[in-house]
Structure 1
Amino acid sequence: MHRPSLFAFSLASKTCHRAATFLIFRKISVMIQDREGLQRDAGRLVEALFRTDSARHVQSITIKGALRLNTKKTDIYNPDTRWLKKSGLAEILDDEELVDSGYRFVVYDEGVIKESSEEDMAWAPFVSLLEATNGLRDLIYDCQSQLPPSLLRALHEKHPLCRLHHLTFRFRTLLWGVPYPYEMELATSPSLYRVRVICTDQDSDGNFDYNMDAVMELAAGLAPNLKEVSIAEIVSQLASSRRSVQKLLWQGLPGFSGEVTGSLTSLSLYYCGTTAMLQNWAKHTDFDKLQHLVIGGGHERRTCGITGETMAWIARNNLFPNLKTLFVNLNRNDDYNEKPHYSENAISFFQAIDSLEELTINGPITPQMIEAVLIHHGPTLKKLSLEPSESMSNTRVRREITMEFTEDRMLQIQALCPVLEKLAITVMRDKSSASETAIYKCFGKMESLRSLFLTLDCANWRAGRDPTYDPRFEGEDQEVACNHSSIIKKGNVREALINSAVDEGLARSIWEMITQNKTGKRLERLKLWTRNGGVFPQAAQIMFLDRFAESMGRSWLIERSPRDDTEEVTVKELKQHAREDYEREHLGQVSPVVEQIFHSIWPRKQGSRDWRDDWSSFPLQG
């Protein structure tokens, strides 16, 4: 639903306004920052609902932000200040659950909100908004402040059938032995439908975190209507002087007997997914009921994916027979010893699951695995995401090369996935060559495809790993680029610069190459994520080459106009602010060798500030 067009439509006439009112007020979002703002915004919403007679239309309310009253509290996760937003990754991966890790994180940093306290009473305007609505189906609480007792009471009394999605859930008093009564009331509420929890093994104050254990017990029946759980197990900054050597045994929540098994429909385990953890979860919820599963998900710590041994165990026990969507990060777990059966175990894992509608695979992917996945799941897949990668560890001599999706493989996806609507896949940049262009043309043949996310990988994964790799450059390009490695030639640096150059012109050309050849449904959205410029595995990196790559390797979002009578598109550079911040911080000094190679490709333009004004992408060939 394109909300700007909807609002414009509602202003056309009284009839149009009446027709659009339901859609306009169906979902409401409130950003909370302070007491005054909460009172003002909630008051305006209540007044608008009564003026337009729209209270009955409200089905979902989302609360974001934080309400803080004269107390210093540690944010669990603040996307406005954390690395994810500063790096631009949150903007690129806007449809995934992302969690920063590795920062100061304190579990037991505050007390529990008391009923009728100053903080609880400050929520009165929002409680009035809640009471003004009729038939609310979903309350999505994504606020850093603890959900107040007055709000929970209003939910129970006014909307007993409303589902509570608590996206900042955690216990604050687990170290007390018996949690505070209100925490247990909230955790066992019949309204609680979904929780998202950030936890750690040991927090920055040295205290052990038992939230993972507690949430398992909630899923096992203590929270009677809990159906969706998302757990992100992060690594917190911890002073070595505070580290304890032994974690005390978890004592359990009041009322937990262990005799009941829950029935979650969705389980997301970010940064975790060991066999032991899955065995523990299997004791608390019936995996036959799961329809959505995330194992080891998360772009920030790829070493946390599930191993071949875990996949083999899952396949032997047929653990997830009724999944509809699967998001999995894979891990060879072979830093010290090769795992020759990794691909075989992965194939048995994917074949042990019935036909999926949505599938995401990140990590070490082999052609054999893709073949098996497409044959087994392709006919039913509506959404597919494939992002291959291999470990950069040098603990042993490695020959694994990140898989490339060729034209033939793209045509195979097109043939075996007839109902595919959304595709996210990696395309290796090849200097805009005819072979690279042919890959873009393949997407036009996918008849059901409407949304496409291309990761433009600019790395040279063969250098240093493929023993047959021996590029023969001409002239100076055959010279070694740095004294630390004989592998990387100046020609490699030249190719890296050309591949990293992704400007708006190239982004539009890729869009046009796809849409001009598109059959079936129209392509509505194209996202381009340019990454890994100047990366060479197991070889010395070229000093300052990454600075050129970061500046030129831009990412883009192209969206078609919502109107059916036009071919107009909007083009937006993603993570632009992050790139500009990076340039201000890092681009004061560059390598003379790299700059010389750069200007042999793109001569200096008259009046340019520096090399950043001189480049442009190579046009697509063929």
Structure 2
Amino acid sequence: MATKFTKAGLCRLPLEILQQVAGYLAEVYRPSLCAFSLTSRSCHQASTLFIFRQIHLNVRTREELQLDVESLATALSRTDSVRHVHSLALEGFLDLKKPRNEKGSWRDVDPLGWWHSLETNEIFPDDDQVPSGGVEYFVYDESVIKQDSEEDLAWAPIINFIRTLPSLQKLIYNCPNQFPPSLLDTLHARHPQCQLHHLTFRMRTLLWSTPYPYEMALATSPCLYKIKVICTGRDSEADDDFNQEAVMELVAGLAPNLKEATIVNFNPGRGGRSLRRRAKWQGLPAFAPGSVGSLTSLSLIGSGPFFWTPGYVQTWAKFTDFGSLRRLTIAGPGARGIDGEVMGYISQNHTFPQLRALSVCLERQDASVERTDFTANAVPFFTAFEPLEELSVSGPLEPEILDAILHRHGRTLKKLIMRPEEVESPGFTGRDRKEIPMTFTKEHVLQIQAECPALEDLGVRVKRMKSSAAEVEIYRSLAKIRRLKTLFLILDCSDWRVHRDSSYDPSFDGEDRDKLESGYMKGHLREALVNCAVDETLARSIWGTIREEGRGLESLRLWTTGAGHFGKGQNNMADGYLNHLSRSWLIERVPRDDVEILHVKELCRSEREARDASGQGARRPKETEPRYGIAGFCILNHGLALLFQMMVAAVSSGEATKN
């Protein structure tokens, strides 16, 4: 039962108590903090400490930047909250050419041309994004920003604002614009202890005989605490990119307080047009060979030349002490993973005694490598680490690997994300692959529940089975993980048995056994349509089934994926319809104990609507969209049956392929 306070009762509480209440609301549910601050003057005074602790500014044009900073400064002055600002995050793109009030586009925040997928942003918010192959990239495409230049002076509102903040501890810079020299001077003069998180770091003068002095001043700044750099072996102009080598030397001691580094490696468009040997890296001035840094967080993701070999790992070990790492990302979801050779090298040659969080992407070494060989390398790799608190694994998985992970880390795990994936294409060998991605059964979930008593955050792959009783039992078994607060379910609508299991004989009868032009049976299309049609009603029903017994769940993320995948690449039959129906959801519970209030959001909705508007989605009226619950789904429902007949007719006539 929630405790109720009168307005007078709240006002009589000491400020320290009210601040404890405000701090709890800020951590658990921020909207309640804003409501609490409006209760009384005393509550408002206690809340400002947390409301203004972290400030985010979206940078657009210089005129809008001036207005935004003025509004923010006025709000801070009115509430006497300037002293409460500890963190300032700058995002967006400062456009010096766009007229005021002109509407922007995605290029405003992405001028280099990366297409930041909404699917990546919303479904995998914690993953670093890897630029897609084929995008042109130029490392040395801009002149270096100069002190007091027009571009430098455009940041004056931010620089003047930072000078007024007495307690600034962290500055997060996530703008593609070059970091302004005047801002760096201000940090050094006014906030020498402030941590600079530079998430768009890049050196542009590494091909000069001596790098530009300002670039070196920024790279070796005592404020520099975290960097993220996108790099490649050779860019689209056939220039060698030495940013990764430069970062290694910064890590090793040139940047004295650098503790976190993210390297995103990729192959740009036209990057391989030159066959000449890559030039030798000359090194940064004042670097002392043999020095070793002590990063606490290292992320190495992406793909590219010389990437993910034992030699690559060995090179990084020469520049930073792996024994100091507390967080490590090896490869990453959607990027090139590490194979058995690399796993074996790491487990035999390196130790990570301080590591608490590991994120790793795996891949099979070759189409000819058997499951047993892959597993034989993966098991000792995961057991070589000290017990972890957080573990995220994507790529090929086997039950034996899961057993090893739970046995070694289960007692200490608070977060576990398992994203089983396999390669669909046969690859260069032309050999037909037989691997089928592992899916989690009720028994696997119960195993996790038994061996992970502290687990609060879980992500697993669940096979969609037309809302059958077996599928419902998986959801119910998740409720048995008593401390679970956050759940990510990959709703797998694929059926790789069609191409990869020679003994598979679908239990279709009647019309479902009829062949379509694509070569698949109508039953395959029917099941794909049924499984991927995850609407809000079904999403709420899945939530209700899990919450029926597991009352601690606070957040559920559903990613509907795999529709039309049968183990040999995505089939184009009814692609538009499948894309339109395959919806993903985020359900969050407002933390109250007297009534359950849910916030339900369709993820990637704007992306889906844009796809539909362009003609790539299903062309059908919204009122024909099926509505069903997990217990009441029935394919014979008149509306859905009619829809299915329309889709099959379209596919049979070739219309869906055109759409």
Question: Is TM (by shorter chain) over 0.5?
Answer: yes
* Contact kept in structure 1, 2:556 and 2:588, CA below 8 Å: yes
Matching residue of 1:464: 499
Shift of 1:75: 7.5
**Do structure 1's residue 335 and structure 2's residue 335 form an aligned pair?**
no
**Do structure 1's residue 402 and structure 2's residue 437 form an aligned pair?**
yes
**Do structure 1's residue 556 and structure 2's residue 591 form an aligned pair?**
no
* Contact kept in structure 2, 1:140 and 1:164, CA below 8 Å: yes
Matching residue of 1:615: none
State the alpha-carbon separation in 2 of the partners of residues 75 and 146 from structure 1.
16
Shift of 1:7: 2.0
Secondary structure of 1:104 counterpart? coil
State the alpha-carbon separation in 1 of the partners of residues 420 and 53 from structure 2.
39
Within 5 A, what are the aligned runs for 1:281-430?
A: 281-299=316-334, 301=335, 304-338=336-370, 340-394=372-426, 395-430=430-465
* Contact kept in structure 2, 1:604 and 1:611, CA below 8 Å: no
The 3 A distance-change label for structure 1 pair 252 and 587 is closer
Within 5 A, what are the aligned runs for 1:206-605?
A: 206-238=238-270, 243-272=274-303, 273-299=308-334, 301=335, 304-338=336-370, 340-394=372-426, 395-482=430-517, 485=519, 488-518=520-550, 522-538=552-568, 542-586=571-615, 603=638
**Do structure 1's residue 163 and structure 2's residue 195 form an aligned pair?**
yes
Q: Paired residues, what number? A: 594
The 3 A distance-change label for structure 1 pair 104 and 263 is same
Letter of the 1:469 counterpart: Y
The 3 A distance-change label for structure 1 pair 135 and 542 is closer
Letter of the 2:274 counterpart: R
Deviations 1:545-574 (A, max 9, x none): 322211111111111113333201011111
Identical amino acids, percent of aligned pairs = 48
State the alpha-carbon separation in 1 of the partners of residues 45 and 206 from structure 2.
50
Secondary structure of 1:467 counterpart? coil
State the alpha-carbon separation in 1 of the partners of residues 207 and 447 from structure 2.
55
Shift of 1:65: 1.4
Letter of the 2:526 counterpart: R
* Contact kept in structure 2, 1:477 and 1:489, CA below 8 Å: yes
The 3 A distance-change label for structure 1 pair 162 and 588 is closer
* Contact kept in structure 1, 2:579 and 2:618, CA below 8 Å: no
* Contact kept in structure 2, 1:33 and 1:67, CA below 8 Å: yes
Shift of 1:11: 2.0
* Contact kept in structure 2, 1:266 and 1:290, CA below 8 Å: yes
* Contact kept in structure 2, 1:204 and 1:236, CA below 8 Å: yes
Q: Please tell me the root mean square deviation across aligned C-alpha atoms, in Å.
A: 2.7
Q: Any gaps of 5 or more consecutive residues in structure 2?
A: 1-25, 99-105, 625-633, 648-659
The 3 A distance-change label for structure 1 pair 391 and 605 is closer
Secondary structure of 2:607 counterpart? helix
The 3 A distance-change label for structure 1 pair 154 and 343 is same
Matching residue of 1:140: 172
Secondary structure of 1:206 counterpart? coil
Deviations 1:285-319 (A, max 9, x none): 001111101111132x3xx1000110011111133
* Contact kept in structure 1, 2:230 and 2:264, CA below 8 Å: yes
State the alpha-carbon separation in 1 of the partners of residues 470 and 641 from structure 2.
34
Shift of 1:407: 0.3
State the alpha-carbon separation in 2 of the partners of residues 606 and 553 from structure 1.
18
* Contact kept in structure 2, 1:399 and 1:465, CA below 8 Å: yes
Q: 1:5 aligns with which of 28, 32, 36?
A: 32
Secondary structure of 1:578 counterpart? helix
Matching residue of 2:13: none
Shift of 1:60: 0.5
Secondary structure of 1:379 counterpart? coil
State the alpha-carbon separation in 1 of the partners of residues 184 and 377 from structure 2.
46
Secondary structure of 1:185 counterpart? helix
The 3 A distance-change label for structure 1 pair 583 and 79 is farther
Secondary structure of 1:527 counterpart? strand
State the alpha-carbon separation in 2 of the partners of residues 35 and 607 from structure 1.
55
Matching residue of 1:616: none
* Contact kept in structure 2, 1:481 and 1:493, CA below 8 Å: no
* Contact kept in structure 2, 1:27 and 1:60, CA below 8 Å: yes
Deviations 1:241-281 (A, max 9, x none): x5352210111000112121000010001114332211110
Secondary structure of 1:505 counterpart? helix
Deviations 1:69-99 (A, max 9, x none): 359xx979729975333x5332221232223
Deviations 1:182-227 (A, max 9, x none): 0000000000000000111111222111101100000000001100
The 3 A distance-change label for structure 1 pair 566 and 423 is same
The 3 A distance-change label for structure 1 pair 339 and 7 is closer
State the alpha-carbon separation in 1 of the partners of residues 644 and 343 from structure 2.
54
**Do structure 1's residue 18 and structure 2's residue 48 form an aligned pair?**
no
Letter of the 2:441 counterpart: T
Deviations 1:371-401 (A, max 9, x none): 1101110110111100101111222132211
State the alpha-carbon separation in 1 of the partners of residues 545 and 635 from structure 2.
29
Shift of 1:611: 5.6
Q: 2:123 aligns with which of 71, 92, 95?
A: 92
Shift of 1:608: 9.2
